[in-house]
Structure 1
Amino acid sequence: MEVYTTENEQVDVLRRFFAENGKALAVGVVLGIIALGGWRYWQSHQDKAMAEASASFQQATNAMAAGDGKTQNISELEKFAQSNNNNYGVFAALQLADHFIDAKDFANADKQLTQALSQTKDENLLSLVNFRLARVQIQENQLDQALKTLDNVKGSGWTAMQQSVRGDALLAKGDTKGASDAYSKGLAANPDQTLQSLLRMKLNNLSS
């Protein structure tokens, strides 16, 4: 390491450094400022877009609730779900899926939930969507697909519910032992009292 014994030597070294590298440093500083400004603009734009999406989502869901499922209001919520590639689009798709499930229109419920899977990276939301989609696929008698969909339900908090639905799919396929194992795994996950009672009832029905 070089040692500079006088202040004048240190100053000369700094002068030579900036003479040789000053342009590159200036460019770096300017690029840094531009990047920071761009990040702040992007962040501000994102915040504004999410606020607008929130307001639009509330308006669309209120219109659907007030319209009691009228075709026009459903169509408006569908357009919102398709055009918002964010969590609000997922929430809209989930609400639409619930509406279609109530109407026994499982094909459209499947469509909404499948679309929602591409609109978020949030693991909890993805697990929720996959869980609901698997239940719809069972109603559509797409049993093997439902089992595959359940593999995408992640997180220990989902274990009991996931195994409950997995057991239902296996039972519908005629795999009584597989269903029993799934229900037992669900119980072993120590779910809340309501789900425990449901799983025990399903197990009892298998042995009756």
Structure 2
Amino acid sequence: MTALTDDEQLDNFKSLTKKYGSAAVSGVLIALIAFFGWNYWQNKQLHRAQNETARVQQMMEQAQSMTGDAKAYNQLAPLADTVIKKDQNSAQAVQAEFVMAKVAADQGNYVAAERELKKVQNIKLDDEGLLQLVNLRLAYVQTAQKKYDDALKTLALVTVPAFKASADEARGDIFVAKNDIANAKKAYQSAWDATIARKQERQILQIKLESVGVLVDDPNIERPILKTQVDES
């Protein structure tokens, strides 16, 4: 395979984004980890604080039913405030802020989404994994605002091994946005290695690697993906 120039690699990534949509492949989207975050939290908190858990569940259901409604953020805010005032250092408070941040981001209001996540970025909670999710999601929101350096600093706070692949992939997305292909390759490769080690889903990550000119060997995925997919567009 002929080596691609940096411009050709960027064109590949842009073609990929056009085909799959920025919602599927760009680092600006917090929805990539939204459901993972919710499932993680549910498993940890299933038998704790049932009333507040029920309120957050209600928020989730309302948020889903109000998808596309410009009034969703303002209407859900009082319910979130009730949960947070009950115990601002609880996992339920963090999840309430997650919901508010996602609703704001879905409306394109990344400033509000960042504000919500920063409220719980440094709370006192004995749940390291949940706090790692706060920083991952915050980094995506900052990237959406082109605050790339802030996003990279936020990702530096993600240190738990279980989140390494997600953090490195987000770094790769940021470097692509900054037109820094060399560092994007390194970040995506690091994410790939961590993903392989943990046997996680990796097809989108493989596409991202190929978009910056790196072919990776995965017997479970046909290669190269990018050339086939982009040529169809």
TM-score, normalization by structure 2: 0.60
**For residues 179 and 81 of structure 1, what CA distance do their matches in structure 2 show?**
39
Q: Could you tell me which amino acid in structure 2 is paired with residue 198 of structure 1?
A: I
Q: Could you tell me which amino acid in structure 2 is paired with residue 147 of structure 1?
A: L
How many pairs are equivalent?
Answer: 156
CA RMSD of aligned residues (A): 2.3
**For residues 96 and 105 of structure 1, what CA distance do their matches in structure 2 show?**
11
**For residues 185 and 64 of structure 1, what CA distance do their matches in structure 2 show?**
33
Structure 1 runs, 4 residues or longer, greater than 3 Å off: 66-73
Unaligned segments of structure 2, at least 5 residues: 1-47, 67-71, 214-226, 228-233
**For residues 81 and 56 of structure 1, what CA distance do their matches in structure 2 show?**
6
Aligned match for 1:156, one of 153, 161, 164? 161
Confirm or deny that 1:139 pairs with 2:141. Answer: no
Shift of 1:163: 0.6
Q: Could you tell me which amino acid in structure 1 is paired with residue 80 of structure 2?
A: E
Larger C-alpha radius of gyration, 1 or 2?
A: 1
* Structure that is richer in helix per residue: 1
Unaligned segments of structure 1, at least 5 residues: 1-49
Aligned match for 1:79, one of 78, 81, 84? 81
Confirm or deny that 1:126 pairs with 2:144. Answer: no
Larger RCO, structures 1/2 (Cα 8 Å, 6+ apart) = 2
Conserved 8 A contact 1:120-1:126: no
Aligned match for 2:208, one of 177, 185, 202? 202
**For residues 62 and 102 of structure 2, what CA distance do their matches in structure 1 show?**
16
- The aligned counterpart of 1:58 is 54
Shift of 1:79: 1.3
Shift of 1:148: 0.4
Shift of 1:75: 2.0
Shift of 1:129: 0.5
